[in-house]
Amino acid sequence: MKENYVLSPEALVMVQGSSKGTQPKYYDKGYWYKVNNIGYEGLAESLISKVLECSNVTDFVRYEECCINGRPGCRSKNFIESGESFLSFQRIYEIYEGGNLTDRIRTIDTIPDRIKFTIELVKEYTNVDCTDYLSKILTLDMLTLNTDRHFNNLGIVVDAERGLCRTAPIFDNGNALLSDWNRFDSDDLEENLEKVTGQPFAANLEMQAYAAGFGLKLNYPKLKEVLSESSESRGLNVLKHQLNRYMNVIPDLRKVSKNLTMKVRHEEPEI
């Protein structure tokens, strides 16, 4: 049974920044609470957290599907520590170059060059290499059909006191797994899949993931076991479909680890 968190009106924060519009959000005692706005975003967040738990991604936000004042949604722990701040890719571009990063990206012809431009932008102004970060996120978005990855939920965490920067954990995956009932209103999966369009480098999720490199790796048996505990839902069915679809594209984490171990042993000098 989902936990119901009762929050006061004082905890309500209206956050703008998604192309999907405004979503009711609350902040209380170190946790963010998001109320579903278009469908089953809370379920999508929870399922994708389970995917990441069984992956090679170590830095991501875990979401708990719950109710907020009786309405379905999810909650997550604030990933910003004391003295830190989140700086989105859009904000980096706005501060140092001026204007809108999405508009700038659209002037670049090829997807690889768009990704390269973004990596170089972040590297130049923060000294952070986000190559692996983007590779994993864009592969995840391809797998989960995330239609709302944009330059405001990609970014770095800045520790101004110590002068340190790092890529942010992966977060904000709610507009995935066909969670938007209004947009994906068909009972036919294939018909819904034809309506999926991606961001921020291309409308085709596969093309931008391919251009960035398939950085995500999954422990498939572990994930299967974890998902077996989830209740039946459209979101779960979509995820299972996508896992079967990309099983030969997204590497098996266990096989990769085994190959690396064998290689290291092979290279050890004999005594």
Predicted confidence (pLDDT) at residue 187 exceeds the cutoff of 50: yes
- Condensed to tens digits (0 to 9), the pLDDT of residues 242-262 reads 999 999 999 999 886 555 444
pLDDT per position as a tens digit, 54-98: 999 999 999 999 999 999 999 999 999 999 999 999 999 999 999
Can you give the pLDDT at residue 20?
A: 53
Matching CATH number, 84-257, of 1.10.1070.20, 3.20.20.70, 1.10.3720.10, 2.60.120.650: 1.10.1070.20
- Looking at residue 148, its pLDDT comes to 96
Query: What is the model's pLDDT at position 261?
Result: 46
pTM: 0.91
Q: Residue 266 has what pLDDT?
A: 42
pLDDT band at 15 (very low <50, low <70, confident <90, very high): low
Q: Return the pLDDT at 131.
A: 98
CA separation for the pair 211, 189 (Å, rounded): 26
pLDDT value, residue 259: 55
The reported pLDDT for the residue numbered 59 is 97
Q: What is the pLDDT of residues 26-44, one digit of tens each?
A: 999 999 999 999 999 999 9
Residue 230 has pLDDT above 70, yes or no: yes
Tokens 């975003």 found at: 41
Mean pLDDT of the chain: 92
Q: What is the mean pLDDT of residues 121-140?
A: 98
Residue 267's pLDDT is what?
43
Would you mind telling me the total number of residues written for the chain in this entry?
271
Average of per-residue pLDDT across 200-214 = 98
The domains of the chain are located at 4-77, 84-257
**pLDDT of 1 above 90:** no
Cα 8 from chain centroid?
29
Sign of CA dihedral 198, 178, 45, 206: negative
Question: What is the arrangement of strands in the sheet containing 63-68, beginning at the earlier edge strand?
Answer: 4-5, 63-68, 71-77, 31-35, 21-28, 12-18
Percent of the chain with pLDDT over 70: 90
Over 60: is that where the pLDDT of 157 sits? yes
What average pLDDT does range 139-155 have in this prediction? 98
Q: Which pLDDT belongs to residue 162?
A: 87
DSSP label at residue 56: S
